[in-house]
A and B are shown apart, each in its own frame.
Chain A
Amino acid sequence: MSLGLALTMLTLIVLIPLAALALRAAALGPAGFYEVISDPRVFAALKVSFLTALAAAIANAIFGTLTAWVLVRYNFFGRRIFDALIDLPFAMPTAVAGIALVSVYSPKGLIGQWLAPLGIKIAYTPLGIIVALIAVGFPFVVRTVQPVLEEISRETEEISATLGANRFQTLFFVVLPPLIPAILTGFALALARGVGEYGSVIFIAGNLPFKSEIAPLLIVIKLEEFNYAGATAIAAIMLAVSFLMLFVINGIQSWSQKRFGHG
């Protein structure tokens, strides 16, 4: 009975609406799709969304791994609070993050005022989109790497040191490889979140067509123009590319899981 209830709710809320999107997209046909994608503005928006999400996910993979390492291996004052703060983006509404980030990184903002004389403009440029996506995607890599790092035995590091490796060699060739599946998982989650992110981005992006206009915003614009076909086509492309990316990364992950034996 509980299965029936769960399946009914799942079908009504998630499956039928997503199927509606798939059907409407299929009804467009190849010609309809081509018409939408061949619009340079649509192509530019998709490019901005995917490239900024990629840049933010790479930054989060590097700094997220570093942060997970610091939280697991080092003991320092305020570590507990530090650890709890990591999840802030999961709890913070995106609109709040959006207006907070733009007021910090605008040329008159707390941080922006120091960057403006150096010629670095963050708010209202693609750089601003990357900043917002780093902020909302930060917890993913930390939270996937942290549990794996906690479980890894330190004996292998001792063995590596005994065999004459220096600390850097040990970290790079012994500690890092088994973390790769977890880093990739976090990277993929951050990437997927970044590609679809809307609320935190639109305030800081400036939303200039061809420069800092993201694909989700273009969907909203098409809807406001009652251009349902255009909105559907962009959404279908975004979903297809996102699922494809997750699929590829899942493949890499299961490969490295076999190779390194960690998840």
Chain B
Amino acid sequence: MADQQSAPHHPRDAVSEPALVRWLLILISAIFLALFLVVPLGTVVGRVVVAGWGSFVDTISESDTQSAIRLTLSVAALAVPFNLVFGIAAAWAIAKFEFKGKTFLTTLIDLPFSVSPVISGLVYVLLFGADTWLGPQLKAMGFPIIFAFPGIFLATVFVTFPFIARELIPLMQAQGTADEEAAISLGASGWQTFIRVTLPNIKWALLYGVLLCNARAMGEFGAVSVVSGHVRGKTETMPLHIEALYNDYSTDGAFAVASLLAALALVTLILRTLLEVKFGADVGNGRHK
């Protein structure tokens, strides 16, 4: 840059835009980002600050809010490990073994991404709802699925299903099987190979996938809304509680709960960015196809 000459046909000028155009384009995209993302996020923070600390504490310490927080944490605490097991098993099978229909399997794993959240909830209502054979049977046995915890868990697992698998598959494919073959030829068992060789190789990508999966699991609205039944203090997760407060004209309360989820989203983004800066080659592979 420093040695840039003022000759009008210097190649650097030919493959760049005038400074004015550059700044105009940066300005346009910055305004776009501000209008649709930054200002709305700032509003969440602003509304909570304006309402004051007392109002925030009041909302958060309400028993309905507390139970919504507990439910959201419990659902995520079960759904994330479930998808962790699936993600590792699927990525291990796809990356380390050859079998027919591999591409098809990868497509199927991505399927939940192209299904509307509402439909992701609906499929479980069609399977376990009141007008099915199975649903009322299970309910009579004291194990209701729809409008109860199991339904919320299933819907959450469905929408977060691809996150960890698609993060691991490209990395494990790129790493190949040489390390594992070496471990096995030296006498390690399959399980030892996995714990001592494979897992350390994929740990950062795994953490990255878990972060994204968790953020989505805690924030899911549409799918959970269909199966939850919206019973306050019982089957209402944090996102559903935000809607209930908002519809009750308790806007300050809605923003107080929303600020907790917004904070979770920001922490997720920051950790993610740190992981990308530090382990850029390993993480972020599944972000876009």
A66 touches B29 (CB 8 A): yes
Return the chain A residue nearest B35 by Cβ. A111
Q: Does A18 contact B (CB under 8 A)?
A: yes
In chain A, positions 2-21 with a C-beta closer than 8 Å to chain B are 2-3, 5-7, 9-10, 13-18, 20-21
Given the complex, which residues of B lie within 8 Å of A243, measured CB to CB? 114
A259 lies within 8 A of chain B by Cβ: no
Measured between C-beta atoms, what is the minimum distance from B110 to chain A in Å? 10
Report chain B residues within 8 Å CB of A10.
86, 90, 105, 108-109, 161
Nearest to B47 among chain A residues (CB) is: A103
| Per-position binary interface string of chain A over residues 99-115, scored 1 when its CB falls under 8 Å from any chain B CB and 0 otherwise | 11101100001110000
Closest-CB distance, A134 to chain B (whole angstroms): 6
Q: Is the CB of A92 within 8 A of B265?
A: yes
Residue ID in chain B nearest A18 by CB atoms: B123
A71-111 at interface with B (beta carbon < 8 Å): 73-74, 76, 80, 82, 84-97, 99-101, 103-104, 109-111
Residues of B within 8 A of A63 (CB): 28-29, 32
Residues from chain A with Cβ under 8 Å of B116 in the complex? 195-198, 216, 235, 238-239, 242
If the complex has contacts A17-B124, A85-B37, A93-B221, are A167 and B29 also in contact, measured as CB distance less than 8 A? Answer: no
Contacting pair B118 A67 (CB below 8 A): no
Tell me, yes or no, whether A179 is within 8 Å of chain B by CB.
Answer: no
Whether a CB of chain A sits under 8 angstroms from the CB of B15 is yes
Give the residues in chain A near B105, CB-CB below 8 Å.
Answer: 6-7, 10
Cβ–Cβ contact B119 & A67, under 8 A: no
Known: A5-B85, A199-B222. A228 touches B125 (CB 8 A): yes
Within 8 A of A (CB), among B102-141: 105, 108-109, 111-112, 114-119, 122-127, 129-131
Known interface pairs A97-B40, A198-B117; A67-B22 also in contact (CB < 8 Å): no
Q: Does B11 contact A (CB under 8 A)?
A: yes
Residues of B near A223 (CB, < 8 A) are 122, 125, 226
Decide if B221 touches A198 in the complex (CB within 8 Å). Answer: yes
| B36 CB contacts on chain A under 8 angstroms | 131, 134-135, 138
In the complex, whether B212 has a CB less than 8 A from a CB of chain A is yes
Contact in complex: B226, A96 (CB < 8 Å): no
Q: Does A172 contact B (CB under 8 A)?
A: no
Interface SS majority for chain B = helix
CB-defined contacts of A101 to chain B, threshold 8 Å: 40
Asked if B14 is an interface residue, CB under 8 A from chain A, the answer is yes
B26 touches A161 (CB 8 A): no
C-alpha spacing A134/B35, complex, angstroms = 10
Q: Knowing that A21-B123, A91-B269 touch, tell me 12 more A-B residue pairs with CB under 8 angstroms.
A: A3-B97, A3-B99, A10-B90, A14-B112, A20-B123, A70-B26, A73-B16, A85-B38, A87-B272, A93-B221, A95-B221, A217-B118
- What 4 A-B pairs are tightest by C-beta distance, nearest first? A196-B116, A93-B219, A161-B14, A199-B221
In the complex, 29 of the A-B residue pairs with CB atoms within 8 angstroms, ordered by the A residue number, are A14-B111, A14-B112, A14-B158, A15-B108, A17-B127, A20-B127, A24-B126, A66-B25, A70-B26, A80-B273, A82-B30, A89-B37, A91-B266, A91-B272, A93-B218, A93-B219, A95-B221, A95-B240, A96-B258, A111-B39, A157-B15, A158-B14, A192-B114, A195-B116, A197-B116, A199-B239, A216-B119, A220-B118, A235-B118
Chain B residues packing against A (C-beta within 8 Å)? 11, 14-17, 22, 25-26, 28-30, 32-33, 35-41, 43-44, 47, 82, 85-86, 88-90, 92-93, 97, 99, 105, 108-109, 111-112, 114-119, 122-127, 129-131, 154, 157-158, 161, 165, 212, 215, 218-222, 225-226, 238-240, 242-243, 246, 251, 254-255, 258, 261-262, 265-266, 268-270, 272-273, 287-289
